[in-house]
């Protein structure tokens, strides 16, 4: 077994959060009408087209042509050296790709730098809870988003989950950094590269016989799918913090939303689908996310891999039993049942009864001497979970990671 290291621990947390960031759709969704109005978006207007039938009109044909002409390996090699937002692009890129990236890397007019600075403060203050939420709420939720689970399972990265998780965790880390969207930061690069990777998946997955057999769509990663996954991240995380009674001042909450609105834009989500406020976000999530959650064989397998990987990478301090119970606590009995996560009489009760008290103690709302004595028995485990989350979220990846355009599907 590998030695426990900072890298491994990062991966352990990343395991779960990372998967949260890759997604797709379901039959339930297919039958629903899109009624969310672009009036509630960051730009307050739009055509209002059903996002299930909208993909990425600029990136998709371009990346398809790069894949078909065999240019991708060379492009990936060149793009490895592009790491900072403000950096000049490497020489030698095809002219159409260069033009695309130059446009795609521009921040929208509605960028609010003061909010971004505030978002960093929030990330610093709340990194511990954010890490746990990205990991166990968003990450595990991704396994019950059918389009996402299938896309992840059958695309190139599905053959090496650890590598894929490392790459996806980079986005979760970058969004919380100080200069995320500044010239010295890396979030714009990460988003634009992810946008290219998604365009590659849209071209390649339809050529996969196994994906075609199980998928209920012809082209993956629609704008609707993107918003589903987006909600599994910031919207779900905020809902968790509220559930745990973590106090978040209104300006910090709005700032956190803003950093994710920009992320959505830079990933190629059209402005008219990006909610302007938490109220709009919650309304949209109720329409696009909650009704489509469902079990798939692919998602069940992914959840199993994630829980086991998480426990192993934590060097055995946190067991699969504890992580399974945390997942049940965070996502509820129904989803835990779909994922075939066994009931854990001791740990299920511990999370249900003691986690809110633990958070209250951490938040200084309750003295530990006034907490039930049972809390002391699980305090170490709860603290370890927060530590893992903090490491994931605040430490970042200190090894070169380059998100790449895929050239094939999962060969397995
Ligand atoms: C790749 C983030 C939505 C499917 C990635 C990567 C990131 C990422 C960072 C690069 C990791 C890698 O190369 O392995 C996000 C975020 C999303 C989102 C933040 C929404 C806010 C989606 C959706 C789907 C999806 C909706 C599918 C329905 C995939 C797949 C890959 C990928 C299949 C891997 C490509 C490969 O095999 O190389 N995503 N994603 N993602 N994403 Fe997403």
Among 145-159, 245-259, 383-397, the range scoring the smallest mean pLDDT is 383-397
Ligand 1 centre and the CA of 23: distance in Å? 6
Beta bridge partners of 409: 155
pLDDT(42) > 80? yes
Identify the pLDDT of residue 15: 35
Angstrom distance (rounded) from CA 362 to CA 40 = 36
Identify the pLDDT of residue 169: 75
Four-CA torsion 201, 206, 208, 214, nearest 10 degrees: 110
Identify the pLDDT of residue 162: 67
Q: Which of 391, 359, 408 has the alpha carbon at shortest distance from 159?
A: 408
Give the number of the atom of ligand 1 that is nearest the alpha carbon of residue 158.
37
pLDDT(28) > 50? no
Ligand 1 centre and the CA of 171: distance in Å? 10
> For 384-407, what is the mean pLDDT?
71
Which of 22, 55, 220, 262 is the pocket-test mutation for ligand 1 (most atoms within 8 Å of CB)? 22
pLDDT(13) > 60? no
Give the number of the atom of ligand 1 that is nearest the alpha carbon of residue 171.
9
User: Could you read off the pLDDT of 232-282 as tens digits, one per residue?
Assistant: 999 999 999 998 889 899 999 999 999 999 999 999 999 999 999 999 999
Ligand 1: residue whose CA is nearest its atom 3: 22
Burial class (CB in 10 A: 0-12, 13-18, 19+), 305: middle
Identify the pLDDT of residue 312: 64
Angstrom distance (rounded) from CA 239 to CA 388 = 20
Radius of gyration of the chain (CA): 20
Ligand 1: residue whose CA is nearest its atom 39: 22
Give the number of the atom of ligand 1 that is nearest the alpha carbon of residue 406.
38
Identify the pLDDT of residue 323: 86
Ligand 1-lining residues (CB < 6 angstroms): 21-24, 147-148, 151-152, 155-157, 164, 167-168, 171, 194, 197-198, 201, 220-221, 225-226, 229-230, 267, 403, 406
Identify the pLDDT of residue 347: 94
Dihedral angle sign, alpha carbons of residues 321, 355, 340, 235:
negative
> For 199-207, what is the mean pLDDT?
97
Ligand 1: residue whose CA is nearest its atom 41: 22
3 state SS for the chain: CCCCCHHHHHHHHHHHHHHCCCCCCCHHHHCCCCCCCHHHECCCCCCCCCHHHCCCCCHHHHHHHHHHCCCHHHHHHHHCCCCCCCCCCCCCCCHHHHHHHHHHCCCCCCCCHHHHHHHHHHHHHHHHHHHHHHHHHHHHHHCCCHHHHHHHHHEHHHHCHHHHHHHHHHHHHHCCCCCCCCCCCCHHHHHHHHHHHHHHHHHHHHHCHHHHHHCCCCCCCCHHHHHHHHHHHHHHHHHHHHHCCCCCCHHHHHHHHHHHHHHHHHCCCCHHHCECCHHHHHHHHHHHCHHHCCCCHHHHHHHHHHHHHHHHHCCCCCCHHHHHHHHHHHHCHHHHHHCCCCCCHHHHHHHHHHHHHHHHHHCCCCCHHHCCCHHHHHHHHHHHHHHHHHHHHHHCCCCCCCCCCCCCECCC
Ligand 1 centre and the CA of 22: distance in Å? 4
Among 30-34, 52-56, 206-210, 338-342, the range scoring the smallest mean pLDDT is 30-34
pLDDT band at 11 (very low <50, low <70, confident <90, very high): very low
Identify the pLDDT of residue 133: 87
Give the number of the atom of ligand 1 that is nearest the alpha carbon of residue 197.
35
Ligand 1 centre and the CA of 173: distance in Å? 15
The b-or-e profile of 199-230 (16+ CB within 10 A means b, else e) is bbbbbbbeebeebeeebebeebbbbbbbbbbb
Ligand 1 centre and the CA of 21: distance in Å? 6
User: Could you read off the pLDDT of 169-202 as tens digits, one per residue?
Assistant: 788 888 989 999 999 999 999 999 999 999 999 9
Identify the pLDDT of residue 209: 95
- Extents of the domains making up the chain: 12-292, 305-395
Identify the pLDDT of residue 1: 32
Give the number of the atom of ligand 1 that is nearest the alpha carbon of residue 226.
26
pLDDT(158) > 90? no
Angstrom distance (rounded) from CA 20 to CA 136 = 9
Ligand 1 centre and the CA of 316: distance in Å? 29
Ligand 1 centre and the CA of 80: distance in Å? 18
User: Could you read off the pLDDT of 44-72 as tens digits, one per residue?
Assistant: 999 999 999 999 999 999 999 999 999 99
Among 23-32, 97-106, 206-215, 384-393, the range scoring the smallest mean pLDDT is 23-32
More confident residue, 387 or 290: 290
Angstrom distance (rounded) from CA 350 to CA 27 = 36
Which of 11, 167, 197 is the pocket-test mutation for ligand 1 (most atoms within 8 Å of CB)? 197
User: Could you read off the pLDDT of 339-349 as tens digits, one per residue?
Assistant: 999 999 999 99
8 Å CB contact between 357 and 369? no
User: Could you read off the pLDDT of 274-328 as tens digits, one per residue?
Assistant: 999 999 999 999 989 999 999 999 999 988 888 876 666 666 667 888 889 999 9
Ligand 1 centre and the CA of 7: distance in Å? 21
Identify the pLDDT of residue 315: 64
User: Could you read off the pLDDT of 78-127 as tens digits, one per residue?
Assistant: 999 999 999 999 999 999 999 999 999 999 999 999 999 999 999 988 88
Q: Which of 294, 263, 261, 266 has the alpha carbon at shortest distance from 280?
A: 261
Ligand 1 centre and the CA of 20: distance in Å? 9
């Amino acid at each position: 077994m590998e030695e426990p290291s900072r890298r491994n621990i990062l991966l352990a947390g990343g395991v779960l959060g990372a998967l949260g960031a890759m997604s797709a759709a379901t039959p339930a969704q297919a039958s629903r009408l899109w009624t969310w109005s672009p009036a509630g978006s960051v730009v307050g207007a739009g055509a209002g087209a059903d996002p299930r039938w909208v993909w990425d009109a600029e990136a998709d044909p371009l990346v398809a042509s790069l894949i078909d002409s065999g240019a991708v390996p060379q492009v990936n090699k060149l793009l490895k050296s592009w790491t900072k937002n403000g950096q000049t692009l490497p020489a030698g890129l095809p002219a159409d790709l260069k033009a695309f990236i130059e446009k795609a890397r521009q921040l929208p007019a509605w960028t609010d730098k003061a909010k971004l600075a505030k978002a960093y403060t929030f990330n610093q203050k709340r990194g511990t809870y954010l890490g746990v939420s990205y990991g166990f709420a968003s990450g595990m939720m991704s396994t019950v988003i059918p389009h996402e689970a299938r896309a992840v399972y059958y695309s190139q990265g599905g053959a090496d989950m650890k590598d894929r998780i490392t790459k996806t965790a980079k986005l979760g880390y970058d969004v919380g950094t100080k200069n995320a969207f500044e010239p010295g930061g890396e979030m714009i690069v990460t988003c634009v590269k992810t946008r290219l990777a998604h365009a590659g998946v849209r071209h390649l997955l339809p050529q996969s016989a196994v994906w075609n057999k199980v998928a209920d769509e012809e082209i993956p990663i629609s704008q609707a799918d993107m918003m589903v996954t987006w909600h599994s991240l910031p919207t779900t995380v905020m809902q968790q913090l509220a559930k745990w009674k973590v106090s978040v001042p209104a300006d910090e909450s709005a700032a956190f939303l803003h950093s994710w609105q920009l992320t959505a834009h830079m990933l190629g989500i059209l402005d008219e689908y990006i909610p302007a406020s938490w109220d709009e976000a919650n309304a949209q999530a109720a329409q696009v996310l909650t009704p489509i959650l469902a079990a798939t064989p692919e998602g069940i397998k992914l959840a199993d891999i994630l829980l086991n990987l998480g426990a192993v990478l934590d060097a055995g301090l946190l067991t699969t039993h504890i992580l399974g119970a945390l997942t049940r606590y965070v996502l509820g009995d129904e989803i835990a049942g779909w994922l075939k996560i066994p009931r854990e009489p001791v740990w299920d009760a511990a999370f249900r009864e003691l986690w809110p008290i633990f958070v209250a103690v951490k938040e200084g709302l309750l003295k530990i001497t006034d907490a039930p004595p049972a809390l002391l028995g699980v305090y170490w485990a709860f603290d370890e979970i927060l530590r893992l989350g903090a490491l994931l979220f605040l430490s970042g990846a200190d090894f070169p990671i380059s998100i790449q355009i895929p050239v094939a599907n999962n060969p397995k």
